[in-house]
C-alpha cells in the first residue's frame, strides 16, 4: 500500500502514521550530538514506546530509560539492553523484577535507597545506583511539568544530601527541562553545579534527564555540544548521560482522522471527527495546546466564534461524550465535507503512549511510512483490546 504523504487520501479510518525518514533524521542528529559531545543519549520510553520500530533505533543508540516495571521489561525484552531506570517510588512487590531488567537504578529519595538498595543488589549485583537530585531551579513555565516547584516530590535537595554519599551510590540524576533550548540547559547547569558540584568527586556519572529538544528546528545544537564539552573539561571523570524522549519522536508523524458529521449551534460550527482529543490527543487538553492541523490556520483569538459567516472556520470535536472534548477554531482552505481527512501534525511523541479507550471508542491504528514509500500497518485495535483491559 502507498499513500500521498501530504493528503493520505484514501484512508477511511484514523491512523497515527510514523514517517521512517523523519525518525531517522532525528536519530542521526541525536547520534551526532552524542559523538561530538562524548555523552550517552538514551531514549525515554515515557515519550516513545512503539517497540516494533526499536530495530531502527538500535542502529543509532544503545540504551533506553524506564520509569516503571513494564518499561524496564520492555527495555530488556524488546530493545535488548537493560534499562536505566528511575521511578519516583519503587515498591516491595516490583523492586526485584525491576532490578533484573535494569543496569542503572536511580532512587528518588534516601529512604527509597535505604529500603530497596540491598534487595536490588541481591537480585542484580551489577546494578549501578544513582540518586535523583533537585537543583530547585527550572525554567519550565507550566506547573504541570515543573519538577522544581515548591513542595516537589522529585529528588533530593542539596540541604538534605549527606556530606558523604553511601559507598554504592555512583551517580546523580537530574531532570528539570521540558521542550527546552540549549540556553536553558546552560543556565540550569550553573544552578546544578552551584548546589551539587561538591559531591561530583564522589560519583562517576551524571544524567541530565530529558527535555533537551535538540531536534527542534531552532534548537542551538552547537551550544548544547559546547556546554557539554566544557562540563567535561571541568569534570573530566564524570560520564554524562542525557535521556530525552520528545526529541526522538519530535515531528515524526501525524494523526489522520476523518470528518464524520458537521453540526452548528449559536453560530458555532463543529466538525465532529472519528477521533477524540481526550482519548487520542490527551496532551492538547492537558497541557493545553492547539495542535497544528495540516492546511489549516489556527485562529488565536479565543473570542472569535467558529462563525457561520465564514464558511471554512470550524471547531473540531471529538467523538467522546465529554462535553469539553473539542478544540478550536481553525480556518481551512475549503469547506469541510463528511469523509474529508483532518491531519493533526506531530502526534507521535507522548501521544501514542498516553491514549486510552474511554467510551470504548475505536482506537486509531498505528502505521509506519517506510523510506521507500511503503505503508505498513503496525497495529489495528479491536473490541478484544477494549475487553482485555476490563476483564
Ligand atoms: C525523569 C525523566 N526523564 C526523561 C524525561 C523525558 O523528557 P522529554 O520527553 O521532555 O525529553 C522525563 C519527562 O517527563 C522525565 O520525567
**Where, residue-wise, is CATH 2.40.37.10 in the chain?**
253-347+355-388
What atom in ligand 1 is closest to the CA of residue 173? Answer: 1
Whose alpha carbon is nearest atom 4 of ligand 1? 210
Whose alpha carbon is nearest atom 16 of ligand 1? 175
Whose alpha carbon is nearest atom 12 of ligand 1? 210
Determine the pLDDT at residue 2: 80
Could you say which DSSP state residue 173 is in? E
CB 208 within 8 A of CB 241: yes
Phi, psi of 299 (to 5 degrees): -95, 110
Q: HSE of 372 in the Cβ direction (CA atoms, 13 Å)?
A: 3
Q: Is 210 in the pocket of ligand 1 (CB under 6 A)?
A: yes
Binding site per annotation, positions: 283
pTM: 0.96
**Where, residue-wise, is CATH 3.20.20.10 in the chain?**
38-248
Beta bridge mates, 17:
254, 367
Determine the pLDDT at residue 33: 98
Determine the pLDDT at residue 92: 97
Residue 341 grid cell:
481527512
253-347+355-388 has which CATH code?
2.40.37.10
Determine the pLDDT at residue 124: 98
Determine the pLDDT at residue 303: 61
What atom in ligand 1 is closest to the CA of residue 247? Answer: 11
Q: Is 130 in the pocket of ligand 1 (CB under 6 A)?
A: no
CB 72 within 8 A of CB 66: yes
Phi, psi of 64 (to 5 degrees): -140, 170
Determine the pLDDT at residue 29: 98
Using CA atoms, how far apart are residues 198 and 180, in angstroms rounded to an integer?
A: 26
Beta bridge mates, 26:
none
Give the strand pairing for 313-317 and 268-273. parallel
Blockwise average pLDDT, block size 10, the chain, 391 residues: 89 98 98 98 98 98 98 98 98 98 98 98 98 97 93 97 98 97 98 98 98 98 98 98 98 98 94 98 95 94 64 95 96 96 98 98 98 96 96 90
Determine the pLDDT at residue 67: 98
Q: Give the contacts of 351 (CB within 8 A, at least 6 positions apart).
A: 16, 255, 280, 281, 282, 283
Secondary structure E strands in 224-369: 239-242, 253-265, 268-273, 296-298, 313-317, 326-332, 341-344, 365-369
Handedness of CA 294, 297, 303, 305 (dihedral sign): negative
38-248 has which CATH code?
3.20.20.10
If you measure from the C-alpha of residue 246 to the centroid of ligand 1, how many angstroms do you get, rounded to a whole number? Answer: 8
* Longest CA pairwise span in the chain (Å): 71
CB 273 within 8 A of CB 257: yes
**Three-state SS at 193:** helix
Handedness of CA 345, 349, 351, 352 (dihedral sign): positive
Q: Is 246 in the pocket of ligand 1 (CB under 6 A)?
A: yes
What atom in ligand 1 is closest to the CA of residue 350? Answer: 9
Cα 96 to Cα 130, 135, 186, 189, 269: the distances in Å are: 17, 30, 37, 34, 54
Determine the pLDDT at residue 302: 57
Give the strand pairing for 15-19 and 253-265. antiparallel
Q: Is 132 in the pocket of ligand 1 (CB under 6 A)?
A: no
Q: Is 26 in the pocket of ligand 1 (CB under 6 A)?
A: no
Cα 87 to Cα 66, 173, 355: the distances in Å are: 8, 11, 21
Using CA atoms, how far apart are residues 249 and 255, in angstroms rounded to an integer?
A: 13
Amino acid at each position: 500500500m502507498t499513500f500521498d504523504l501530504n493528503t493520505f487520501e484514501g484512508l477511511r479510518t484514523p491512523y497515527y502514521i510514523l514517517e521512517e525518514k523523519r525518525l531517522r533524521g532525528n536519530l542521526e542528529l541525536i547520534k551526532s550530538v552524542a559523538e561530538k559531545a562524548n555523552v550517552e543519549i538514551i531514549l525515554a520510553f515515557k515519550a516513545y514506546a512503539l517497540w516494533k520500530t526499536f530495530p531502527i533505533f538500535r542502529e543509532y543508540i544503545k540504551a533506553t530509560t524506564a520509569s516503571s516495571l513494564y518499561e524496564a521489561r520492555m527495555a530488556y525484552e524488546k530493545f535488548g539492553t537493560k534499562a536505566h531506570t528511575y521511578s519516583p517510588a519503587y515498591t516491595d512487590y516490583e523492586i526485584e523484577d525491576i532490578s533484573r531488567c535494569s543496569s542503572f537504578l536511580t532512587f528518588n529519595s534516601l529512604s527509597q535507597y535505604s529500603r530497596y538498595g540491598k534487595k536490588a543488589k541481591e537480585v542484580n549485583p551489577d546494578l549501578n545506583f544513582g540518586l535523583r537530585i533537585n537543583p530547585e531551579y527550572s525554567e519550565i513555565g507550566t506547573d504541570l511539568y515543573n519538577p522544581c516547584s515548591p513542595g516537589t516530590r522529585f529528588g533530593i535537595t542539596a540541604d538534605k544530601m549527606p556530606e558523604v554519599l553511601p559507598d554504592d551510590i555512583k551517580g546523580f540524576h537530574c531532570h528539570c527541562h521540558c521542550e527546552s533550548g540549549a540556553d536553558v540547559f546552560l543556565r540550569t547547569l550553573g544552578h546544578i553545579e552551584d548546589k551539587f558540584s561538591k559531591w561530583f568527586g564522589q560519583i562517576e556519572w551524571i544524567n541530565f534527564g530529558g527535555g533537551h529538544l535538540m531536534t527542534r528546528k531552532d534548537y542551538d545544537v552547537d551550544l548544547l555540544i559546547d556546554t557539554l564539552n566544557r562540563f567535561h573539561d571541568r569534570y573530566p571523570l564524570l560520564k554524562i548521560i542525557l535521556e530525552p524522549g520528545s526529541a526522538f519522536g519530535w515531528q515524526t508523524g501525524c494523526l489522520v482522522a476523518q470528518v464524520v458529521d458537521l453540526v452548528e449551534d449559536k453560530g458555532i460550527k463543529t466538525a465532529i471527527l472519528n477521533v477524540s482529543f481526550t482519548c487520542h490527543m490527551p496532551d492538547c487538553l492537558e497541557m493545553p495546546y492547539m495542535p497544528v492541523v495540516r492546511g489549516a490556520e489556527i485562529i488565536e483569538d479565543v473570542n472569535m466564534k467558529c462563525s457561520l459567516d465564514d464558511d471554512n472556520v470550524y471547531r473540531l470535536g471529538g467523538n467522546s461524550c465529554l462535553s469539553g472534548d473539542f478544540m478550536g477554531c481553525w480556518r481551512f482552505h475549503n469547506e469541510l465535507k463528511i469523509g474529508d481527512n483532518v491531519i493533526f501534525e506531530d502526534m507521535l511523541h507522548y501521544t501514542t503512549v498516553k491514549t486510552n479507550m474511554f467510551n470504548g471508542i475505536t482506537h486509531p491504528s498505528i502505521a509506519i511510512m517506510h523510506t521507500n514509500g511503503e505503508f505498513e500497518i503496525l497495529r489495528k485495535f479491536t473490541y478484544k483490546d477494549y475487553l482485555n483491559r476490563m476483564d
